[in-house]
Amino acid sequence: MPRGASLKEEIDQLRLEGDKANDMGQWDVALSKFKALTALALTLNLKPILAEGYRKCAHIERNRGNFRSAEKMYEKALAVSMGDSDMPGIADSLKGLSTMYFRKGEYVQALRYGLEALQHARALKDPNLTGSILTDLGNIYCVTGKYDEGMKAYEEALKILPEKDFFQIGRVLNNMGETHKRHRRYDEAIKCLEKNIAFGLEKGELNNRAWSLFCAAECYARLGNTDKACEYLDSSEPLLKEASDEVGLQELYKVRGIALSLMGDRNKAKELFEQSIKLGKKLNLPTETASAYVEFGLMLEGMGDRDGAKGCFIQAVALYQGVRLEKELNDVKAHLERVSKK
């Protein structure tokens, strides 16, 4: 067998094994495979493979909350791709940086890198990449209160994403439902989320269906249908655990806490809120952790535990200040002022 064919097989095998381990949540194994891929590419001066290896390592570090390491890897990937005039690699690295800053709650940086990535993706005329980046931008706009711009980005993504890209289509539908939920338009949210649950079931797309299930569960709980909420949470949790999706589980624990609180089981709800907060801190999710603190504080306030509620709201204020979310910050400050006056 020619040496070139042998090297290609080795590269393909490392990539395949790394991707499989990553999908199963075996991040240490995946990282070792991608580091081996990177080392091999570096030795052989295979620049596109080298940049890919850096990006794959960065994705894992980002998902673990190791943002400093992820940032270094993304920047290495970007430098290699730029030096090689690898336009798809440049766009993918910029997208990765945008996602990382979004996870950190640094939304100005996330938007800057996202818009840069979008320019490159559009120049490449790549509908999958463009649609994915538009979805990312929609998330940034919606989290920072620019809901109209966010919905426009989601709608544009749906128009250009190929029909076979089940994951990205499901992601858009889920995030549109999430946006309606934030506006307390629960019936509208449920329409989007139920559509995605059915879509995910039909296409075998598990992850976005799991997210839509727990997001819809919160809507049903807010509308008083706690039985439906618990049914959906029970369906979502094993899917998230199977995918080792700790970010999703952090949100699910919060939603289950909300449902249990509304059902009057406040001791169990307390455990779930604490579990959500602990996991949010582990994953460096400031916005999501702050949201869990707020829901926990509101429950404690309803129980007459003003000191406990005050402590939760103080924690949420610090987190929202760190990510500069003015609307959420003002809302929790109002909660803090209310419990402080009583």
Amino acid sitting at position 230? C
Distance CA 213, CA 251 (A): 11
Distance CA 181, CA 215 (A): 8
Q: Which residue has the tokens 């989320």?
A: 193
Phi, psi values for residue 264, rounded to 5°: 95, 0
Distance CA 299, CA 291 (A): 13
**152, 160 contact by CB (below 8 A):** no
Instruction: Going residue by residue through the chain, which has 342 residues, state the pLDDT in tens, using 9 for 90 and above.
Output: 344 558 888 888 999 999 888 877 688 899 999 999 999 999 889 999 999 999 999 998 887 778 899 999 999 999 999 999 999 999 999 999 999 999 888 999 999 999 999 999 999 999 999 999 999 999 999 989 899 999 999 999 999 999 888 888 988 999 999 999 988 999 999 999 999 999 888 887 788 899 999 999 999 999 999 999 999 999 999 999 988 888 899 999 999 999 999 999 999 999 999 999 999 999 889 999 999 999 999 999 999 999 999 999 999 999 999 888 888 899 999 999 999 986
Distance CA 177, CA 234 (A): 20
**296, 311 contact by CB (below 8 A):** no
Q: Which residue has the tokens 């109002």?
A: 334
Chain centre distance of CA 240: 13
Determine the pLDDT at residue 3: 47
**91, 51 contact by CB (below 8 A):** no
**172, 161 contact by CB (below 8 A):** yes
Any idea which fold 245-262+271-342 has? Answer: 1.25.40
**192, 209 contact by CB (below 8 A):** no
Query: Element (H or E) spanning 328, and its range?
Result: helix 326-341
**149, 141 contact by CB (below 8 A):** yes
Query: Element (H or E) spanning 167, and its range?
Result: helix 166-182
Chain centre distance of CA 28: 20
Mark residue 205 as left, alpha or beta (left: phi above 0; alpha: psi -120 to 50; beta: remaining).
beta
Any idea which fold 123-241 has? Answer: 1.25.40
Closest by CA to 122, choosing from 149, 81, 94, 143, is 94
DSSP string, 237-287: HHHHHHTT-HHHHHHHHHHHHHHHHHTT-HHHHHHHHHHHHHHHHHTT-HH
Beta-carbon count within 10 A of 186 CB: 19
DSSP string, 52-76: HHHHHHHHHHHHHT-HHHHHHHHHH
Determine the pLDDT at residue 284: 86
CB neighbour list of residue 9: distance below 8 Å, 6 or more residues apart: none
Sign of CA pseudo-dihedral 171, 246, 78, 54:
negative
Distance CA 130, CA 54 (A): 21
Largest CA distance in the chain: 80
